[in-house]
Amino acid sequence: MSTDIQNAKTRGGFANKTKRRDALRAGKVLALLLAAPLGACGVNRTLPPPVTPYDYHDRHPVVLSDSPQVLDVFPATLHGRLDPETQGRVREFVARYSEFGHGQVTMLTPTGSAAAAASAGDANALRHALASAGLRGNIMMGTYPVTDPKLAAPIRLSFQSIKAKVADRCGEWPRDLASGSTLDGWQNETYWNFGCASQATLSAQVADPRDLANPRAETASDIETRMRGINKMRRGEDPSTVWRLKASDISSVGGGS
């Protein structure tokens, strides 16, 4: 009797172990099924290399800096007054100072040669031209030595303002383009100085350097043009603009003789 009871307990123990083992396996399978979608989100994917390994926008960026704006004036006085071309340059200089400049305007007159003495004599006429162009405030006066007496000695005007320029210098060639002794030229990559001249030209031509950092707001729409187009559509007319040239030299371009 005791042997049968012991055998029954043994069979019951094996059954319980089997059930626990099956439950553990089922739990592992369920955990793997639940973790599979989450694992897909955390896969470390390797992105392909860029088409252009070294973009010139990153290599030669255009930055905004606080730099001096300089105007070299070569005046030609006419009875104590500046010539019209010089007056126009002075007006542009004052207008740019009023829009972007800060601090004082500095005027440096040359010293050290006969041409410098003659040019320095026009400083008074230049000051009157600056005042006539709308410059308000004191002008900081100074001198600079002439290095070569044979060269013209201008009067130098300057002020501090925001300016766009390339962060590094152009014309540097750290690698040999021919690369006869290495395999650098076989990689089909842009050379170091590529794009630097374009960036420098862009920074020199931009009218407002702040446009490179933040775009301007849109201007108001032309309400007259809009209403003219709407009224034509209401009347069943073509709202498009048709340009016709009459009695013009270019009106017959492309026509037969």
Q: Please state the domain extents for the chain.
A: 1-39, 68-162
For residue 8, what pLDDT is reported?
46
The single-letter DSSP state of residue 194 is: T
Task: Compute how many other C-beta atoms are within 10 angstroms of the C-beta atom of residue 93.
Answer: 23
Q: Where are the beta strands (DSSP E) in the chain?
A: 62-73, 77-78, 81-82, 101-111, 139-145, 155-166
For residue 158, what pLDDT is reported?
95
Task: Compute how many other C-beta atoms are within 10 angstroms of the C-beta atom of residue 135.
Answer: 21
Q: What is the pTM of this model?
A: 0.57
- CA end-to-end span of the chain: 131
Looking at the domain 68-162, which fold is it?
60s Ribosomal Protein L30; Chain: A; (3.30.1330)
Tell which residue, 218, 192, 225, has the closest CA to residue 58.
192
DSSP 224-249: HHHHHHHHHHHTT---S------S-T
Per-10-residue mean pLDDT of the chain, 257 residues long, equals: 50 56 62 56 58 73 91 76 88 92 91 74 86 87 87 89 89 74 70 89 90 85 89 90 69 51
- With contact defined as beta carbons under 8 Å apart, do 170 and 193 qualify? yes
For residue 78, what pLDDT is reported?
61
Q: Which amino acid is at 112?
A: G
For residue 112, what pLDDT is reported?
82
